[in-house]
Amino acid sequence: MSMMLKQIYMFDMDGTLLDLAYDDLIWNIKVPEHYVRAHATTYNDIHSLMHHYHEQYKHTLSWYSTQFWSQKLQLDVVNIHQQYAEHICTRPYCIELLTELNQRGHECWLVTNADLKTLKLKLEKTQIGPYFKHIISSEYIGYAKEDAQFWHTLHKQFPFCIKNSIFIDDTLAVLQQAEQFGLKHLWGIAQPSSTRQITANHHYPMLDQLTDLLKFLPKPLKEHDETSQ
């Protein structure tokens, strides 16, 4: 039985629409500072500990969970995020791109690994929520975007046209998993953080600025017969 599914424009949040410099500040500077003060230890100790956890949990749902890190580090990680929330900001041309897509009639979804608490904080600070038909956290789905099960579960709960939908993300492992699932229109981000150098090229096209995406977009497609999906 055929099913008519929509073409969707799916966006990652951190490093794609929002400047990853905020997350760099939290995890590379502020969390270590708070840990050293709280546990009377050294920066070498916390950096060694974080490296150990990085090797063990990167690309898993736990890696993106403030509850997980609060338990592991015995810190109030959500409170640390809130203390420095003034540093949360969109990347250049984020609002311009989302506004243009909405005006053209494209349906946009926010598809993020941010857990529900940090997602809420960032939406409050940036006010990008109204641009999206759906705002989906991997915490809600139950798998990180780097996990194949994320994409199968997402498609089951929020059906979309795999063949024609567009997905933009700054993380190579996520793009690779999306491609394995069947998504064909994939873009990376050249400079996810304003405090880091431009990302090395990979085989996915890279957006130097977000509105560059508009050069590649067709007219909105209303529905697609996804009989083969």
Residue at a domain's end among 57, 86, 115: 86
On whether both 45 and 75 belong to a single domain, the answer is: yes
Shared domain for 76 and 96, answered yes or no, is: no
**Domain boundary pick from 63, 86, 109:** 86
Q: Are residues 100 and 128 in the same domain?
A: yes
78 and 97 in a single domain? The answer is no
Q: Based on the fold, state whether residues 191 and 94 are members of the same structural domain.
A: yes
What is residue 229's predicted lDDT score, i.e. its pLDDT? 46
- Find the domain containing 204 and state its range: 4-20+89-225
Q: Structurally, how many domains does the chain consist of?
A: 2
Q: Give tens-digit pLDDT for 169-182.
A: 999 999 999 999 99
Question: In whole angstroms, how far apart are CA 66 and each of 74, 121, 140, 143, 170?
Answer: 11, 12, 14, 15, 21
pTM for the model: 0.92
Would the pLDDT of 1 be above 50?
Answer: no
DSSP 146-185: TSHHHHHHHHHHS---TTT-EEE-S-HHHHHHHHHHT--E
Local confidence band at 72 (pLDDT 50, 70, 90 cut-offs): very high
> In terms of domains, do 16 and 129 share one?
yes
